[in-house]
Amino acid sequence: MTAAGGNLEGGKDRPTQALRISRAQEIATMLISGKTRQQVLRFASENWGMPVRTCDRLIADARQIIIDDWQIDRQQLLAQLLSALSVLQLRALHDGNLAVCLGAINAQARLCGLFDLSLLPPAPSVSFTNVNVTPPAASPPSGNWVRGLPHGDG
């Protein structure tokens, strides 16, 4: 085994499978954090002395790791997201951060499809009638002028 952590096979320094997986995971982390291919190539060249083609294979492995992480059943993902939002809601409520608490509640409702307006029953129709609310021409000199308004109860 060499100082770089590889094995000598056929005159070439080749990393072990564990080292290859470790490097692919490190590259996956870089890709998730927004690093470009060129940045990953530079990192691999400077830190591991890796040629471009070998690094491209590791980048492909890293992308597969990312895909595998998200190969999850929708029901399981929904359960994880709802659980995380529930924890966030309780923490926010405990800390008195009601805006975050309400945001977590709204996000839970959206994930459950409760904001799909097509699922709601139709809203009742409301009609308004004209109501005359103008005060009398002259209010009483003292007291409350509202008392002087005609009422339907007397």
Tokens of 67: 């895909």
Partner residues linked to 73 by β-bridges: none
Q: Worst-scoring range by mean pLDDT, 5-14, 29-38, 80-89?
A: 5-14
Q: With 90 as the cut, is the pLDDT of residue 126 above it?
A: no
Q: What is the pTM of this model?
A: 0.51
Partner residues linked to 9 by β-bridges: 12
- What is the residue-averaged pLDDT of the chain? 82
The torsion defined by the Cα of 101, 104, 106 and 108, in degrees rounded to 10, comes to -140
> With b meaning 16 or more CB within 10 Å and e meaning fewer, what string describes 43-78?
bbeeebebeeebbeebbebbeebeeeeeeeeeeeee
Question: What are the tens digits of pLDDT across the range 80-92?
Answer: 999 999 999 999 9
How much is the pLDDT for 119?
66
How much is the pLDDT for 148?
61
Q: Between these two residues, 67 and 128, which has the higher pLDDT value?
A: 67
Q: Between these two residues, 68 and 146, which has the higher pLDDT value?
A: 68
Partner residues linked to 79 by β-bridges: none
From the centroid of its chain, how far is CA 134?
A: 52
Q: With 90 as the cut, is the pLDDT of residue 132 above it?
A: no
